[in-house]
Structure 1
Amino acid sequence: MAGIKKINKSCFFTSLPLALCLGMSLLHSSVAVGQSGWTKEKKEGFYQLSYQSLVSKDYYTLGGELLETNQFSQQSIVFYGEYGVTDKFTIIANLPLQTWNGFENTQKVSGLGDLRLEFKHAILKKYLPLTISVAPELPIGKANNFAKSTINDFEQINLPSGDGEFNVWSTIATSFSLPNAPLYGSIFGAYNVRTEYDGIQFNDQYALGAEVGYQIAKKVWINARLNALATVGDVLVATDFVRGDGTEYTSISFGASVPVYKKLHLNLNYRNFNDLIFDRKNLYSSGVVSIGIYYERK
Protein backbone atom coordinates (compact mmCIF):
# COMPACT_ATOMS: atom_id res chain seq x y z
CA MET A 1 0.00 0.00 0.00
CA ALA A 2 1.35 3.43 -0.85
CA GLY A 3 1.06 6.73 0.95
CA ILE A 4 2.91 6.15 4.25
CA LYS A 5 4.05 9.46 5.71
CA LYS A 6 5.48 8.37 9.07
CA ILE A 7 7.29 5.07 9.44
CA ASN A 8 7.99 2.95 12.52
CA LYS A 9 11.81 2.62 12.64
CA SER A 10 11.53 -1.08 13.48
CA CYS A 11 9.42 -1.89 10.43
CA PHE A 12 10.43 -0.51 7.04
CA PHE A 13 8.04 -1.47 4.27
CA THR A 14 6.73 -0.60 0.85
CA SER A 15 3.56 -1.62 -0.93
CA LEU A 16 1.83 -4.81 0.32
CA PRO A 17 4.27 -5.66 3.19
CA LEU A 18 2.32 -3.03 5.15
CA ALA A 19 -0.15 -5.84 5.86
CA LEU A 20 2.62 -7.91 7.42
CA CYS A 21 4.02 -5.14 9.60
CA LEU A 22 0.78 -3.87 11.09
CA GLY A 23 -1.02 -6.05 13.63
CA MET A 24 -3.72 -3.54 14.38
CA SER A 25 -7.18 -4.06 15.72
CA LEU A 26 -9.73 -2.50 13.42
CA LEU A 27 -12.56 -3.51 15.71
CA HIS A 28 -10.72 -2.22 18.79
CA SER A 29 -12.36 -4.47 21.36
CA SER A 30 -15.53 -6.36 21.86
CA VAL A 31 -15.82 -5.40 25.48
CA ALA A 32 -18.99 -3.43 26.05
CA VAL A 33 -18.34 0.30 26.32
CA GLY A 34 -20.68 0.56 29.30
CA GLN A 35 -21.45 -1.94 32.08
CA SER A 36 -23.75 -1.48 35.06
CA GLY A 37 -24.71 -3.16 38.31
CA TRP A 38 -28.38 -3.36 37.34
CA THR A 39 -30.34 -6.18 35.79
CA LYS A 40 -33.69 -5.85 34.03
CA GLU A 41 -36.90 -6.70 35.84
CA LYS A 42 -38.69 -9.82 34.64
CA LYS A 43 -39.91 -9.43 31.00
CA GLU A 44 -38.44 -5.95 30.70
CA GLY A 45 -36.39 -5.25 27.60
CA PHE A 46 -34.09 -2.80 25.89
CA TYR A 47 -33.44 -3.03 22.13
CA GLN A 48 -31.22 -0.73 20.08
CA LEU A 49 -30.12 -0.49 16.46
CA SER A 50 -27.18 1.83 15.90
CA TYR A 51 -24.79 3.03 13.21
CA GLN A 52 -21.19 3.92 14.02
CA SER A 53 -18.32 5.29 11.99
CA LEU A 54 -14.55 5.69 12.35
CA VAL A 55 -12.17 7.32 9.84
CA SER A 56 -8.48 7.60 10.66
CA LYS A 57 -4.92 7.77 9.33
CA ASP A 58 -3.36 7.43 12.79
CA TYR A 59 -2.27 3.89 13.63
CA TYR A 60 -0.49 3.09 16.90
CA THR A 61 1.88 0.11 16.65
CA LEU A 62 2.43 -2.67 19.19
CA GLY A 63 5.22 -0.51 20.61
CA GLY A 64 2.97 2.54 20.91
CA GLU A 65 4.58 4.42 18.02
CA LEU A 66 2.40 6.50 15.73
CA LEU A 67 2.21 5.71 12.03
CA GLU A 68 0.38 7.88 9.53
CA THR A 69 -1.00 5.54 6.90
CA ASN A 70 -3.50 5.56 4.10
CA GLN A 71 -6.88 6.53 5.46
CA PHE A 72 -8.76 3.64 7.00
CA SER A 73 -12.51 3.68 7.51
CA GLN A 74 -14.92 1.40 9.30
CA GLN A 75 -18.70 1.65 9.52
CA SER A 76 -20.98 -0.74 11.38
CA ILE A 77 -24.67 -1.38 11.95
CA VAL A 78 -25.05 -3.01 15.37
CA PHE A 79 -27.94 -4.64 17.19
CA TYR A 80 -27.88 -4.57 21.00
CA GLY A 81 -30.59 -6.07 23.20
CA GLU A 82 -31.31 -6.86 26.87
CA TYR A 83 -34.11 -9.05 28.23
CA GLY A 84 -35.01 -9.75 31.85
CA VAL A 85 -35.56 -13.49 32.27
CA THR A 86 -36.12 -12.95 36.01
CA ASP A 87 -35.67 -9.93 38.24
CA LYS A 88 -32.07 -11.01 38.87
CA PHE A 89 -31.09 -12.58 35.56
CA THR A 90 -30.69 -10.75 32.25
CA ILE A 91 -29.60 -11.98 28.83
CA ILE A 92 -27.75 -9.52 26.59
CA ALA A 93 -26.93 -9.83 22.88
CA ASN A 94 -24.54 -7.68 20.85
CA LEU A 95 -24.25 -8.37 17.12
CA PRO A 96 -22.69 -6.25 14.35
CA LEU A 97 -25.17 -6.97 11.58
CA GLN A 98 -22.83 -5.55 8.97
CA THR A 99 -19.35 -4.02 9.15
CA TRP A 100 -17.62 -2.24 6.25
CA ASN A 101 -13.81 -1.97 6.25
CA GLY A 102 -11.50 -0.36 3.74
CA PHE A 103 -8.49 1.84 3.06
CA GLU A 104 -8.54 4.74 0.63
CA ASN A 105 -6.52 2.64 -1.83
CA THR A 106 -8.44 -0.64 -1.46
CA GLN A 107 -11.90 -1.94 -2.10
CA LYS A 108 -14.34 -1.73 0.81
CA VAL A 109 -15.36 -5.16 2.07
CA SER A 110 -18.18 -6.04 4.45
CA GLY A 111 -19.57 -8.87 6.51
CA LEU A 112 -21.40 -10.04 9.61
CA GLY A 113 -19.56 -9.56 12.92
CA ASP A 114 -19.08 -11.89 15.90
CA LEU A 115 -22.02 -12.51 18.25
CA ARG A 116 -21.54 -11.69 21.92
CA LEU A 117 -24.04 -13.27 24.35
CA GLU A 118 -23.92 -12.07 27.95
CA PHE A 119 -25.53 -13.79 30.93
CA LYS A 120 -25.86 -11.35 33.81
CA HIS A 121 -26.81 -12.16 37.40
CA ALA A 122 -27.55 -9.74 40.26
CA ILE A 123 -25.67 -10.58 43.47
CA LEU A 124 -27.07 -7.51 45.22
CA LYS A 125 -29.99 -5.52 43.87
CA LYS A 126 -31.69 -3.26 46.40
CA TYR A 127 -29.20 -1.00 48.19
CA LEU A 128 -25.98 -1.34 46.22
CA PRO A 129 -26.60 -3.05 42.87
CA LEU A 130 -23.84 -5.55 42.11
CA THR A 131 -23.74 -7.95 39.16
CA ILE A 132 -21.50 -10.58 37.67
CA SER A 133 -21.71 -11.67 34.05
CA VAL A 134 -20.19 -14.16 31.65
CA ALA A 135 -20.16 -13.30 27.96
CA PRO A 136 -18.97 -15.82 25.36
CA GLU A 137 -18.23 -14.32 21.96
CA LEU A 138 -19.05 -16.64 19.09
CA PRO A 139 -16.87 -16.35 15.96
CA ILE A 140 -19.67 -16.26 13.40
CA GLY A 141 -18.27 -13.25 11.52
CA LYS A 142 -16.01 -13.31 8.48
CA ALA A 143 -12.56 -14.19 9.79
CA ASN A 144 -11.06 -13.71 6.33
CA ASN A 145 -12.32 -11.02 4.00
CA PHE A 146 -9.81 -9.82 1.43
CA ALA A 147 -9.91 -6.37 -0.12
CA LYS A 148 -8.00 -5.83 -3.37
CA SER A 149 -5.80 -2.83 -3.92
CA THR A 150 -7.22 -0.23 -6.29
CA ILE A 151 -3.65 0.61 -7.37
CA ASN A 152 -2.27 -2.88 -8.05
CA ASP A 153 -5.02 -5.42 -8.57
CA PHE A 154 -2.66 -8.32 -7.79
CA GLU A 155 -2.31 -7.09 -4.17
CA GLN A 156 -4.86 -7.66 -1.43
CA ILE A 157 -5.19 -7.20 2.31
CA ASN A 158 -7.28 -9.09 4.88
CA LEU A 159 -9.95 -6.89 6.53
CA PRO A 160 -12.17 -9.37 8.41
CA SER A 161 -15.39 -8.40 10.17
CA GLY A 162 -14.81 -10.98 12.92
CA ASP A 163 -11.64 -12.10 14.71
CA GLY A 164 -12.17 -15.82 14.13
CA GLU A 165 -11.63 -16.91 17.75
CA PHE A 166 -13.89 -18.01 20.60
CA ASN A 167 -13.36 -15.91 23.72
CA VAL A 168 -15.17 -15.27 27.00
CA TRP A 169 -15.52 -12.01 28.94
CA SER A 170 -16.20 -12.09 32.71
CA THR A 171 -17.38 -8.85 34.30
CA ILE A 172 -18.21 -7.52 37.76
CA ALA A 173 -20.04 -4.19 37.98
CA THR A 174 -21.70 -1.99 40.56
CA SER A 175 -23.91 1.09 40.28
CA PHE A 176 -25.69 3.72 42.32
CA SER A 177 -28.49 6.22 41.81
CA LEU A 178 -29.49 9.12 44.02
CA PRO A 179 -33.00 8.97 45.51
CA ASN A 180 -33.70 12.69 45.16
CA ALA A 181 -31.79 13.54 41.99
CA PRO A 182 -31.72 12.09 38.45
CA LEU A 183 -28.06 11.08 38.75
CA TYR A 184 -26.41 7.66 38.49
CA GLY A 185 -22.94 6.16 38.32
CA SER A 186 -21.34 2.81 37.52
CA ILE A 187 -17.92 1.16 37.66
CA PHE A 188 -16.81 -2.20 36.33
CA GLY A 189 -13.86 -4.51 35.81
CA ALA A 190 -13.65 -7.29 33.21
CA TYR A 191 -11.33 -10.06 32.04
CA ASN A 192 -11.25 -11.62 28.57
CA VAL A 193 -10.03 -15.21 28.17
CA ARG A 194 -8.89 -15.48 24.56
CA THR A 195 -8.19 -18.63 22.59
CA GLU A 196 -6.70 -19.02 19.13
CA TYR A 197 -7.34 -18.67 15.44
CA ASP A 198 -5.62 -20.63 12.70
CA GLY A 199 -3.06 -22.01 15.17
CA ILE A 200 -2.19 -18.59 16.64
CA GLN A 201 -2.73 -18.20 20.42
CA PHE A 202 -3.93 -14.74 21.51
CA ASN A 203 -3.13 -13.03 24.82
CA ASP A 204 -5.85 -12.43 27.41
CA GLN A 205 -7.13 -8.90 28.06
CA TYR A 206 -8.54 -6.95 30.99
CA ALA A 207 -10.69 -3.82 31.06
CA LEU A 208 -12.07 -1.29 33.49
CA GLY A 209 -14.50 1.58 33.20
CA ALA A 210 -16.69 4.16 34.87
CA GLU A 211 -19.81 6.07 33.85
CA VAL A 212 -21.90 8.93 35.20
CA GLY A 213 -25.25 10.10 33.88
CA TYR A 214 -27.71 12.88 34.57
CA GLN A 215 -31.23 13.63 33.35
CA ILE A 216 -32.11 17.14 32.20
CA ALA A 217 -35.69 18.42 32.45
CA LYS A 218 -36.94 14.86 33.10
CA LYS A 219 -36.43 14.03 29.41
CA VAL A 220 -32.85 14.15 28.15
CA TRP A 221 -30.24 11.80 29.60
CA ILE A 222 -26.58 12.76 29.19
CA ASN A 223 -23.62 10.61 30.17
CA ALA A 224 -19.83 10.47 30.21
CA ARG A 225 -17.77 7.28 30.16
CA LEU A 226 -14.15 6.36 30.77
CA ASN A 227 -12.94 2.98 29.48
CA ALA A 228 -9.53 1.34 29.43
CA LEU A 229 -8.28 -1.90 27.89
CA ALA A 230 -4.92 -3.67 28.32
CA THR A 231 -3.30 -6.93 27.26
CA VAL A 232 -1.92 -9.53 29.66
CA GLY A 233 1.76 -10.06 28.92
CA ASP A 234 3.85 -8.66 26.10
CA VAL A 235 2.98 -9.11 22.45
CA LEU A 236 6.24 -8.47 20.65
CA VAL A 237 5.31 -9.60 17.15
CA ALA A 238 2.16 -8.85 15.19
CA THR A 239 0.54 -12.26 14.75
CA ASP A 240 -2.08 -11.32 12.18
CA PHE A 241 -4.09 -8.44 10.80
CA VAL A 242 -7.21 -7.29 12.63
CA ARG A 243 -7.18 -9.79 15.51
CA GLY A 244 -6.66 -7.30 18.34
CA ASP A 245 -3.74 -9.14 19.94
CA GLY A 246 -1.79 -6.57 21.96
CA THR A 247 -4.42 -3.83 21.63
CA GLU A 248 -4.45 -1.27 24.47
CA TYR A 249 -6.13 2.10 24.92
CA THR A 250 -7.98 4.55 27.10
CA SER A 251 -11.16 6.14 25.76
CA ILE A 252 -13.56 8.86 26.82
CA SER A 253 -17.07 9.14 25.42
CA PHE A 254 -20.00 11.51 25.75
CA GLY A 255 -23.58 10.62 24.94
CA ALA A 256 -27.16 11.84 25.05
CA SER A 257 -30.54 10.21 24.55
CA VAL A 258 -33.84 11.95 23.87
CA PRO A 259 -37.40 10.60 23.51
CA VAL A 260 -38.76 10.83 19.97
CA TYR A 261 -42.04 8.87 20.03
CA LYS A 262 -43.66 7.01 22.92
CA LYS A 263 -41.05 4.44 24.04
CA LEU A 264 -38.65 5.16 21.18
CA HIS A 265 -35.51 7.18 21.95
CA LEU A 266 -32.71 8.64 19.87
CA ASN A 267 -29.19 7.99 21.15
CA LEU A 268 -26.10 9.99 20.11
CA ASN A 269 -22.53 9.25 21.19
CA TYR A 270 -18.99 10.45 20.51
CA ARG A 271 -15.93 8.45 21.60
CA ASN A 272 -12.22 9.19 21.28
CA PHE A 273 -9.01 7.48 22.37
CA ASN A 274 -6.08 8.73 24.49
CA ASP A 275 -3.23 7.55 26.73
CA LEU A 276 -4.63 8.54 30.13
CA ILE A 277 -4.50 5.08 31.78
CA PHE A 278 -3.13 2.73 29.12
CA ASP A 279 -1.17 4.01 26.13
CA ARG A 280 -2.64 3.38 22.70
CA LYS A 281 -1.25 0.28 21.01
CA ASN A 282 -2.30 -1.74 17.99
CA LEU A 283 -5.29 0.32 16.89
CA TYR A 284 -6.43 3.13 14.65
CA SER A 285 -7.19 6.15 16.82
CA SER A 286 -9.84 8.69 15.92
CA GLY A 287 -13.25 9.90 16.96
CA VAL A 288 -16.01 7.32 16.71
CA VAL A 289 -19.46 8.78 16.05
CA SER A 290 -22.58 6.70 16.61
CA ILE A 291 -26.30 7.29 16.29
CA GLY A 292 -28.98 4.84 17.33
CA ILE A 293 -32.64 4.35 18.00
CA TYR A 294 -33.80 2.24 20.94
CA TYR A 295 -37.00 0.88 22.42
CA GLU A 296 -37.60 0.15 26.10
CA ARG A 297 -40.20 -2.29 27.31
CA LYS A 298 -41.26 -1.95 30.95
Structure 2
Amino acid sequence: MKKYWYTLIVFTLMIFQSQAQSGWTRKAQSFYLQSSASYYSSRDYYTTEGNLSDSGSRFNSSALILYGEYGVTDRFTAILDVPIVQLNSFSSTETVAGVGSVKLGLKYRLFNNLPIAVQADFEIPTDDGTNLATSNNPNALGTFDQINLPTSDGEFNVWTNIIGSHSFGNGKTYGSLYTGINFRTESFSNQFHAGAELGHLFFDKLYLIGKLRILEKLSSGEGNQGGSFLYGEGTTFTSFGFNAIYKLGEHMSLVTSYSDYAGFLVDRKNIYDGATFSLGVSFEY
Protein backbone atom coordinates (compact mmCIF):
# COMPACT_ATOMS: atom_id res chain seq x y z
CA MET A 1 0.00 0.00 0.00
CA LYS A 2 2.86 2.38 0.73
CA LYS A 3 4.17 1.75 -2.77
CA TYR A 4 0.84 2.76 -4.33
CA TRP A 5 0.55 5.79 -2.04
CA TYR A 6 3.99 7.02 -3.08
CA THR A 7 3.21 6.40 -6.76
CA LEU A 8 -0.04 8.35 -6.45
CA ILE A 9 1.69 11.37 -4.96
CA VAL A 10 4.43 11.36 -7.60
CA PHE A 11 2.01 11.13 -10.51
CA THR A 12 -0.36 13.70 -9.03
CA LEU A 13 2.48 16.19 -8.94
CA MET A 14 3.17 15.57 -12.64
CA ILE A 15 0.08 17.44 -13.81
CA PHE A 16 0.89 20.21 -16.27
CA GLN A 17 2.12 23.57 -14.94
CA SER A 18 -0.64 26.13 -14.21
CA GLN A 19 -3.39 23.42 -14.15
CA ALA A 20 -1.72 21.41 -11.37
CA GLN A 21 -4.11 21.16 -8.44
CA SER A 22 -3.44 18.74 -5.62
CA GLY A 23 -3.76 18.63 -1.85
CA TRP A 24 -0.46 16.76 -1.59
CA THR A 25 2.92 18.44 -1.21
CA ARG A 26 6.36 17.17 -2.14
CA LYS A 27 8.65 15.37 0.27
CA ALA A 28 11.30 17.62 1.86
CA GLN A 29 14.33 18.26 -0.40
CA SER A 30 12.77 16.41 -3.34
CA PHE A 31 12.17 18.17 -6.64
CA TYR A 32 10.25 17.82 -9.87
CA LEU A 33 11.17 19.43 -13.22
CA GLN A 34 9.15 19.42 -16.43
CA SER A 35 9.80 20.85 -19.87
CA SER A 36 6.87 20.93 -22.30
CA ALA A 37 5.79 22.44 -25.60
CA SER A 38 2.20 23.52 -26.25
CA TYR A 39 0.23 24.48 -29.36
CA TYR A 40 -3.13 26.24 -29.72
CA SER A 41 -5.03 27.41 -32.80
CA SER A 42 -8.58 28.73 -33.32
CA ARG A 43 -10.69 31.01 -35.49
CA ASP A 44 -13.77 30.84 -33.22
CA TYR A 45 -13.84 34.01 -31.12
CA TYR A 46 -16.56 34.53 -28.50
CA THR A 47 -17.25 38.19 -27.74
CA THR A 48 -17.62 39.77 -24.30
CA GLU A 49 -21.39 39.20 -24.74
CA GLY A 50 -20.87 35.50 -25.42
CA ASN A 51 -21.67 35.61 -29.14
CA LEU A 52 -19.64 33.66 -31.69
CA SER A 53 -17.96 36.14 -34.01
CA ASP A 54 -16.84 35.49 -37.57
CA SER A 55 -13.40 36.98 -37.07
CA GLY A 56 -12.13 35.73 -40.44
CA SER A 57 -8.65 35.23 -39.03
CA ARG A 58 -7.09 32.34 -37.11
CA PHE A 59 -5.27 32.97 -33.83
CA ASN A 60 -2.23 30.79 -33.12
CA SER A 61 -0.16 30.46 -29.97
CA SER A 62 2.64 28.11 -28.98
CA ALA A 63 5.04 28.02 -26.05
CA LEU A 64 7.98 26.27 -24.47
CA ILE A 65 7.35 25.98 -20.73
CA LEU A 66 9.54 25.10 -17.77
CA TYR A 67 7.80 24.02 -14.58
CA GLY A 68 9.36 22.99 -11.29
CA GLU A 69 8.51 22.07 -7.70
CA TYR A 70 10.76 21.78 -4.65
CA GLY A 71 9.86 20.38 -1.26
CA VAL A 72 11.07 22.93 1.28
CA THR A 73 9.56 20.75 4.04
CA ASP A 74 7.17 17.79 3.90
CA ARG A 75 4.26 20.24 4.14
CA PHE A 76 5.64 23.25 2.24
CA THR A 77 6.33 23.24 -1.52
CA ALA A 78 7.77 26.02 -3.72
CA ILE A 79 6.63 26.19 -7.36
CA LEU A 80 8.05 27.92 -10.46
CA ASP A 81 6.23 28.17 -13.80
CA VAL A 82 7.95 29.99 -16.70
CA PRO A 83 6.85 30.18 -20.36
CA ILE A 84 10.41 30.86 -21.52
CA VAL A 85 9.33 31.37 -25.14
CA GLN A 86 5.82 32.21 -26.30
CA LEU A 87 4.81 32.82 -29.92
CA ASN A 88 1.56 34.59 -30.88
CA SER A 89 0.12 35.39 -34.30
CA PHE A 90 -2.96 35.71 -36.42
CA SER A 91 -3.11 34.09 -39.84
CA SER A 92 -3.06 37.66 -41.20
CA THR A 93 -0.02 38.88 -39.20
CA GLU A 94 3.59 38.12 -38.50
CA THR A 95 4.52 36.06 -35.44
CA VAL A 96 5.69 37.90 -32.32
CA ALA A 97 7.72 36.30 -29.55
CA GLY A 98 8.30 36.99 -25.87
CA VAL A 99 8.57 35.56 -22.40
CA GLY A 100 5.25 34.79 -20.72
CA SER A 101 4.31 35.92 -17.22
CA VAL A 102 6.30 34.12 -14.51
CA LYS A 103 4.45 32.32 -11.71
CA LEU A 104 6.03 31.83 -8.30
CA GLY A 105 3.89 29.58 -6.12
CA LEU A 106 3.80 28.54 -2.48
CA LYS A 107 1.74 25.57 -1.32
CA TYR A 108 1.18 24.59 2.33
CA ARG A 109 -0.52 21.37 3.48
CA LEU A 110 -2.70 22.20 6.46
CA PHE A 111 -2.60 18.79 8.17
CA ASN A 112 0.05 16.10 8.44
CA ASN A 113 -2.19 13.23 7.43
CA LEU A 114 -4.85 14.95 5.30
CA PRO A 115 -4.16 16.17 1.72
CA ILE A 116 -5.76 19.59 2.14
CA ALA A 117 -3.63 22.55 1.10
CA VAL A 118 -3.70 26.28 0.50
CA GLN A 119 -1.74 27.73 -2.39
CA ALA A 120 -0.83 31.19 -3.64
CA ASP A 121 0.67 31.79 -7.09
CA PHE A 122 2.23 35.19 -7.69
CA GLU A 123 2.02 35.96 -11.42
CA ILE A 124 4.71 38.47 -12.37
CA PRO A 125 4.54 40.27 -15.75
CA THR A 126 7.61 40.23 -17.96
CA ASP A 127 6.70 43.32 -19.99
CA ASP A 128 4.17 46.16 -20.13
CA GLY A 129 1.58 44.14 -22.03
CA THR A 130 2.51 45.46 -25.47
CA ASN A 131 3.89 43.31 -28.31
CA LEU A 132 2.79 44.59 -31.71
CA ALA A 133 2.41 42.27 -34.69
CA THR A 134 2.40 43.76 -38.19
CA SER A 135 -0.12 42.60 -40.79
CA ASN A 136 1.16 40.49 -43.68
CA ASN A 137 -0.56 42.63 -46.30
CA PRO A 138 -1.27 46.37 -46.56
CA ASN A 139 -4.75 47.76 -45.98
CA ALA A 140 -6.81 49.77 -48.48
CA LEU A 141 -4.69 52.86 -47.74
CA GLY A 142 -1.49 50.98 -48.51
CA THR A 143 -0.23 50.90 -44.91
CA PHE A 144 0.43 47.92 -42.69
CA ASP A 145 -1.81 47.59 -39.64
CA GLN A 146 -0.51 46.54 -36.22
CA ILE A 147 -2.32 44.52 -33.57
CA ASN A 148 -1.26 43.94 -30.00
CA LEU A 149 -0.53 40.26 -29.21
CA PRO A 150 1.08 40.41 -25.75
CA THR A 151 2.85 37.38 -24.33
CA SER A 152 2.48 38.90 -20.84
CA ASP A 153 -0.50 41.02 -19.81
CA GLY A 154 1.57 43.64 -17.97
CA GLU A 155 -0.22 43.30 -14.62
CA PHE A 156 0.52 41.53 -11.34
CA ASN A 157 -1.85 38.72 -10.27
CA VAL A 158 -2.23 36.65 -7.12
CA TRP A 159 -3.99 33.33 -7.71
CA THR A 160 -5.28 31.80 -4.46
CA ASN A 161 -6.50 28.25 -3.97
CA ILE A 162 -7.77 25.87 -1.35
CA ILE A 163 -7.43 22.27 -2.53
CA GLY A 164 -8.65 18.98 -1.13
CA SER A 165 -7.67 15.54 -2.47
CA HIS A 166 -8.50 11.94 -1.63
CA SER A 167 -7.20 8.58 -2.86
CA PHE A 168 -9.12 5.36 -3.47
CA GLY A 169 -8.32 1.74 -4.32
CA ASN A 170 -4.93 1.44 -2.60
CA GLY A 171 -3.84 4.77 -4.03
CA LYS A 172 -4.42 3.93 -7.70
CA THR A 173 -7.30 6.40 -8.04
CA TYR A 174 -7.51 9.95 -6.73
CA GLY A 175 -9.87 12.91 -6.86
CA SER A 176 -9.34 16.61 -6.16
CA LEU A 177 -11.60 19.63 -5.70
CA TYR A 178 -10.35 23.21 -5.58
CA THR A 179 -11.55 26.78 -5.61
CA GLY A 180 -10.04 30.23 -5.33
CA ILE A 181 -9.83 33.85 -6.49
CA ASN A 182 -7.42 35.59 -8.82
CA PHE A 183 -6.72 39.07 -7.42
CA ARG A 184 -5.74 41.38 -10.31
CA THR A 185 -4.18 44.84 -10.51
CA GLU A 186 -4.20 47.68 -13.09
CA SER A 187 -8.02 48.07 -12.78
CA PHE A 188 -8.72 44.57 -14.12
CA SER A 189 -11.61 42.64 -12.58
CA ASN A 190 -10.88 39.88 -10.09
CA GLN A 191 -11.77 36.34 -11.13
CA PHE A 192 -13.28 33.28 -9.45
CA HIS A 193 -12.24 29.80 -10.48
CA ALA A 194 -13.03 26.26 -9.35
CA GLY A 195 -12.47 22.77 -10.64
CA ALA A 196 -12.21 19.04 -10.18
CA GLU A 197 -9.79 16.31 -11.24
CA LEU A 198 -10.02 12.52 -11.32
CA GLY A 199 -7.09 10.25 -12.09
CA HIS A 200 -6.35 6.54 -12.25
CA LEU A 201 -3.13 4.53 -12.55
CA PHE A 202 -3.11 1.73 -15.15
CA PHE A 203 -0.53 -1.07 -15.29
CA ASP A 204 1.59 0.76 -12.67
CA LYS A 205 2.96 2.81 -15.60
CA LEU A 206 0.26 4.95 -17.17
CA TYR A 207 -1.72 7.62 -15.34
CA LEU A 208 -4.82 9.10 -17.03
CA ILE A 209 -6.35 12.25 -15.54
CA GLY A 210 -9.59 14.03 -16.41
CA LYS A 211 -10.15 17.69 -15.51
CA LEU A 212 -12.98 20.22 -15.37
CA ARG A 213 -12.58 23.93 -14.57
CA ILE A 214 -14.64 27.12 -14.62
CA LEU A 215 -13.54 30.76 -14.64
CA GLU A 216 -15.91 33.62 -13.81
CA LYS A 217 -15.51 37.38 -13.61
CA LEU A 218 -16.20 38.98 -10.23
CA SER A 219 -17.92 42.35 -9.90
CA SER A 220 -15.05 43.93 -7.95
CA GLY A 221 -12.58 46.05 -9.84
CA GLU A 222 -13.12 48.84 -12.36
CA GLY A 223 -13.23 46.45 -15.30
CA ASN A 224 -10.46 47.65 -17.61
CA GLN A 225 -11.83 46.99 -21.10
CA GLY A 226 -8.92 48.28 -23.17
CA GLY A 227 -6.32 46.34 -25.12
CA SER A 228 -6.00 42.81 -26.41
CA PHE A 229 -8.33 39.89 -25.59
CA LEU A 230 -5.15 38.26 -24.26
CA TYR A 231 -5.48 40.47 -21.18
CA GLY A 232 -8.41 38.28 -20.15
CA GLU A 233 -10.70 41.10 -19.00
CA GLY A 234 -14.26 39.79 -18.94
CA THR A 235 -13.09 36.32 -19.96
CA THR A 236 -15.26 33.45 -18.69
CA PHE A 237 -15.33 29.78 -19.67
CA THR A 238 -15.75 26.14 -18.80
CA SER A 239 -12.75 24.03 -19.76
CA PHE A 240 -12.17 20.31 -19.77
CA GLY A 241 -9.08 18.26 -20.44
CA PHE A 242 -7.14 15.04 -20.17
CA ASN A 243 -3.56 14.25 -19.17
CA ALA A 244 -1.59 11.10 -19.87
CA ILE A 245 1.61 10.40 -17.96
CA TYR A 246 3.77 7.41 -18.82
CA LYS A 247 6.68 6.47 -16.58
CA LEU A 248 9.77 5.74 -18.70
CA GLY A 249 12.03 4.91 -15.76
CA GLU A 250 12.57 5.52 -12.09
CA HIS A 251 13.03 9.27 -12.49
CA MET A 252 11.78 10.12 -16.00
CA SER A 253 8.28 10.31 -17.50
CA LEU A 254 6.60 11.30 -20.76
CA VAL A 255 3.74 13.76 -20.24
CA THR A 256 1.04 14.88 -22.65
CA SER A 257 -2.22 16.81 -22.35
CA TYR A 258 -5.28 17.96 -24.25
CA SER A 259 -7.67 20.73 -23.15
CA ASP A 260 -10.61 22.52 -24.73
CA TYR A 261 -13.52 24.84 -23.89
CA ALA A 262 -17.25 24.18 -23.65
CA GLY A 263 -20.45 26.19 -23.22
CA PHE A 264 -22.00 24.41 -20.25
CA LEU A 265 -21.82 25.65 -16.62
CA VAL A 266 -20.19 28.96 -17.64
CA ASP A 267 -20.55 30.72 -21.00
CA ARG A 268 -17.53 31.35 -23.24
CA LYS A 269 -16.81 35.09 -23.31
CA ASN A 270 -13.87 37.11 -24.69
CA ILE A 271 -11.98 33.99 -25.69
CA TYR A 272 -10.89 32.04 -28.74
CA ASP A 273 -12.45 28.59 -28.43
CA GLY A 274 -10.02 25.86 -29.42
CA ALA A 275 -7.97 22.91 -28.24
CA THR A 276 -4.52 23.07 -26.68
CA PHE A 277 -2.10 20.18 -27.11
CA SER A 278 1.02 19.73 -24.98
CA LEU A 279 3.89 17.27 -24.98
CA GLY A 280 6.84 17.12 -22.63
CA VAL A 281 9.20 15.20 -20.42
CA SER A 282 9.64 15.29 -16.66
CA PHE A 283 12.28 14.37 -14.10
CA GLU A 284 11.81 13.88 -10.36
CA TYR A 285 14.16 13.02 -7.51
| TM-score for the superposition, normalised by structure 1 | 0.84
Q: Name structure 1 gaps, 5 residues minimum.
A: 1-30
Residue of structure 2 in register with 1:143 after alignment: 129
1:154 shift after superposition: 2.5
The CA RMSD measured in Å over matched residues stands at 1.7
**1:223 aligned to which of 209, 219, 229:** 209
The SS at the match of 1:124 is coil
Which residues in structure 2 correspond to 1:99-248 (within 5 Å)? 99-126=86-113, 128-141=114-127, 143-152=129-138, 153-178=143-168, 180-196=170-186, 201-233=187-219, 238-241=225-228, 242-248=230-236
> Is 1:93 aligned with 2:69?
no
Distance of 1:230 and 1:174 partners within structure 2:
21
Distance of 2:169 and 2:71 partners within structure 1:
23
Residue of structure 1 in register with 2:253 after alignment: 265
1:141 shift after superposition: 4.2
Residue of structure 2 in register with 1:252 after alignment: 240
1:240 shift after superposition: 1.4
Distance of 1:280 and 1:33 partners within structure 2:
19
Distance of 2:33 and 2:81 partners within structure 1:
10
Q: Does the CA-based 8 Å contact 1:113-1:142 persist in structure 2?
A: no
Residue of structure 2 in register with 1:32 after alignment: 18
| TM-score for the superposition, normalised by structure 2 | 0.88
1:101-160 deviation line (CA, Å, top 9, x unaligned):
00111000010011111111110231x311011111111246211110011153111111
Q: Name structure 2 gaps, 5 residues minimum.
A: 1-16
Residue of structure 1 in register with 2:275 after alignment: 287
Is 237-246 or 55-64 further displaced after alignment?
A: 237-246
Residue of structure 1 in register with 2:32 after alignment: 46
Equivalent residue letter for 1:100:
L
Distance of 1:254 and 1:147 partners within structure 2:
32
1:65-109 deviation line (CA, Å, top 9, x unaligned):
001220110001111111000011000111111110001110000
Q: Does the CA-based 8 Å contact 2:78-2:107 persist in structure 1?
A: yes
The SS at the match of 1:175 is strand
Equivalent residue letter for 2:80:
A
Equivalent residue letter for 1:134:
A
> Is 1:65 aligned with 2:51?
yes
Q: Does the CA-based 8 Å contact 2:189-2:223 persist in structure 1?
A: no
Distance of 1:206 and 1:67 partners within structure 2:
25
Q: Say how many residue pairs are matched.
A: 262
Structure 1's consecutive aligned runs of 4 or more residues displaced over 4 angstroms after TM superposition are 234-237
